[in-house]
Amino acid sequence: MVRMIEEKEIFEHVPELVYVTRQMTDSRRIERPIHQHTDLTELLLVYRGEGSYICDGYMYAIHPGDVLLYNQGGMHEVQSASELEIGTYCFGMSGMQLNGCEPGIMTNPQMGFVRACGDRFQEINALCSMIYDLTMKRDVHACRAAQHLFLGLLMIVLRCPPDERSRKNNRDEVLAARIVQYITLHYMEPLTLDSIAQALSVSPYYASHVMKQETGTSPIQFMINCRIGEAQNLLIASEYSVTQISTMVGYDSINHFSAIFRKKVGMSPAHYRKHYLEQMHGKRMQ
């Protein structure tokens, strides 16, 4: 007889499921540049499509059956490899703490930020679909059932072995991670390539070359992605005006901010907020 694993064997503090979203393949997709959640941890299942996953300066090729782990406060982004959006189930949780770990931390660079479901993909995908359907009922009993099923899902995923795609650090990877960390801390400031390179004691050319090589994006483009990602967070989680958000993420000109936002996301900031709230039935959850 198989021994049942109890929650206390894994969790110091049991997480609460805050939201579940399902991203469908849609040519009208909304891009979500690199961003972070300061008080939430996320888990994503890729159920269709291929692309890349960037997390804290590390890049992984991802495929159906991959589970992506987002630590609380970690900078992350999923990029599609084609015109079709990657299909994912996204689970946001609060209050999670594993035994022996800091709050909100599921993994580290040595263990990797991706887990492969392998031959359990079909059952995990079915479980994700069931949890999503239950939360869509907006019934207290259904949501309670979804919470219990989610804990089961999380316990299954956390017991998956580290993925072979976990990469060993080399000199360029370390520098790229330092650049990512610096920009993450200072992206609301008036950064330039020269100021970033000077802060890290390298040449602007080398900083740009290494960042592009290791993450697929330039330092300045990464900064823009951070700003737009945070702007999206503020648009969907606060009632700040677009003008206020523009200033908060580092833009003096609202016209310049709106132009960059539209280029990255495909719609204006105001339209993005309206679209999100319609999709989530008026709830500000992320």
CATH number of 171-279: 1.10.10.60
**Predicted confidence band at 28 (pLDDT cuts at 50, 70, 90)?**
very low
What is the pTM (predicted TM-score) of this model?
0.63
Q: Is the pLDDT of residue 25 over 70?
A: no
* Alpha-helical regions (H) of 98-215: 121-136, 140-158, 171-186, 193-200, 204-215
Q: Which residue has the higher pLDDT, 224 or 83?
A: 224
Q: Residue 5 has what pLDDT?
A: 63
Tokens standing for 274?
Answer: 């309206």
Asked if residues 55 and 116 have their Cβ atoms less than 8 Å apart, the reply is no
3-state secondary structure of 274: helix
User: Mean pLDDT of all residues in the chain?
Assistant: 85
Torsion-angle region of residue 227: left (phi > 0), alpha (psi -120 to 50) or beta? alpha
- 43 phi/psi in degrees, rounded to 5: -135, 130
**Predicted confidence band at 258 (pLDDT cuts at 50, 70, 90)?**
very high
Tokens standing for 2?
Answer: 């198989």
Asked if residues 78 and 30 have their Cβ atoms less than 8 Å apart, the reply is no
Q: Residue 251 has what pLDDT?
A: 96
pLDDT tens-place string over residues 164-205: 765 545 678 778 888 988 898 899 999 999 999 998 888 999
Q: Average pLDDT, stretch 262-284?
A: 83
CB atoms within 10 A of CB 11: 19
CATH architecture of 7-158: Sandwich (2.60)
Q: Average pLDDT, stretch 33-56?
A: 83
Segment among 29-38, 223-232, 247-256 with least mean pLDDT: 29-38
Q: Residue 280 has what pLDDT?
A: 67
**Predicted confidence band at 26 (pLDDT cuts at 50, 70, 90)?**
very low
> Rounded to an integer, what distance in angstroms lies between the CA atom of residue 30 and that of residue 276?
10
51, β-bridge pairs: 62, 80
**Predicted confidence band at 75 (pLDDT cuts at 50, 70, 90)?**
confident
CB atoms within 10 A of CB 264: 20
Nearest to 228 by CA among 255, 265, 254: 265
Q: Is the pLDDT of residue 36 over 80?
A: no
Q: Residue 33 has what pLDDT?
A: 62
> Rounded to an integer, what distance in angstroms lies between the CA atom of residue 133 and that of residue 261?
32
- 267 phi/psi in degrees, rounded to 5: -160, 165
Q: Which amino acid is at 192?
A: T
List the domain boundaries for the chain. 7-158, 171-279
> Rounded to an integer, what distance in angstroms lies between the CA atom of residue 43 and that of residue 93?
8
Q: Residue 85 has what pLDDT?
A: 73
